[in-house]
Amino acid sequence: MKKTILTGLRPTGNLHLGHYFGACQNYLKLQNDYDFYLEIADVQALTDNFNNPEKVRRNVTEITIDLLSTGLNPDKVNFFIQSKIPEIAELTVFYSNLVTVARLERNPTVKTEIAQKKELFGNNGESITYGFLGYPVSQAADITAFNGELVPVGEDQLPLLEQCREIVRKFNSIYGETLKEPEAILSEAKRVKGLDGNDKMGKSLGNAIFLNDTEEVINQKIMKAVTDPQKIKKDDPANPDICMVYYYHDLVNTKENKEKICNECKKGTRGCVQCKKELIKAMNEFLKPIQDKRKYYEQHPEIINDILKNGTEKAKEKAEQQMKSVKKAMKIDY
């Protein structure tokens, strides 16, 4: 029997290169060997976008198209929508007895996010909602509703997984062995830096290249990318290790080209403008197959609907089964 993998994404925006190299490449490998459930976490997205339902709705479709465009195979991956699985909400209620408010307030991921969302939750998090504080509980329900054994996530999500494991242990110790304790699969890929040289590429940081950016947009973004500040003249030698243009060449260009670019940069026989133009070309070539797939799916919205419908049906079956065991263990199986 294949092991079960469960992961989720909040539908709050399109995917960028950070997602592609940090997560999608990993999914592409994993889809062949596991029973793979991929949750479009619309309920979780609403915890900090409750005042913007249109955004969440629009991005459910957008993120599904992005994921499929990267080459994920809907015959291997069950794409499903969180809100269509009410068992997740039910489990969240049951698990909320097994976690203290203090523990949630100490969760490092939650703490960081509260600090980033001052507008929504106040300068010191004094206006934090019950729903947002509790989303780690809901995420534990996401995973355990499917008996998820492996959870591919980025490092920032590890505290949430730890919280889930604690809930599972507590549940099992009180109600008897019922739930599996999931493990993280950390992506081998490194975190992708932003066009501005920031350690992290992020939508809110304004330094991202999105998988669906047009050629024109890519052109503008790359022309503004940060290069070695010591290089003033076209024929000054420079250090590719601190140049964002070289950094992206390294991600998307061929080995031969990379070596050539690196050598010429160090020798000072290559200007930054030429180098950027070559990166624009390489980036467009890299994104072309992804964008071609996107176009196909955009022209066939009925396929997206079918994929979500089928995946959600399979997920629902699995969650219903799990719910039976949970209710039995909790003695609420009337």
Cβ(283)–Cβ(218) under 8 Å?
Answer: yes
How many Cα atoms within 13 Å fall on the side-chain side of residue 115? 8
Q: Is 8 in the site for ligand TRP (CB under 6 A)?
A: yes
How many Cα atoms within 13 Å fall on the side-chain side of residue 110? 27
Q: Is 87 in the site for ligand TRP (CB under 6 A)?
A: no
Among 9, 104, 222, 315, binds ligand TRP (CB under 6 A): 9
Angle at 12 between CA 154 and CA 312, to 5 degrees: 80
Nearest residue to 319 via CA among 84, 48, 116, 151: 84
Among 65, 91, 99, 151, binds ligand TRP (CB under 6 A): 151
Q: Is 48 in the site for ligand TRP (CB under 6 A)?
A: no
CB contact set of 268 (below 8 Å; sequence gap of 6+): 235, 236, 237, 238
CB of 276 to ligand TRP, least distance (A): 31
Determine phi and psi for 81, rounding to 5 degrees: -100, 125
Looking at residue 24, what DSSP letter applies?
I
Among 4, 5, 10, 145, binds ligand TRP (CB under 6 A): 10
Of the listed pieces 2-10, 98-106, 171-179, 264-272, which binds ligand TRP according to CB under 6 A? 2-10
Among 4, 49, 83, 139, binds ligand TRP (CB under 6 A): 139
- Rounded CA separation 81/43 (Å): 9
Of the listed pieces 8-16, 223-231, 273-281, 309-317, which binds ligand TRP according to CB under 6 A? 8-16
Q: Is 153 in the site for ligand TRP (CB under 6 A)?
A: yes
Q: Is 24 in the site for ligand TRP (CB under 6 A)?
A: no
Q: Is 312 in the site for ligand TRP (CB under 6 A)?
A: no
Smaller CB separation from ligand TRP, 8 or 134 = 8
Looking at residue 241, what DSSP letter applies?
G
Q: Which residues bind ligand TRP (CB under 6 A)?
A: 6-10, 39, 41, 44, 139, 142-143, 151, 153, 157
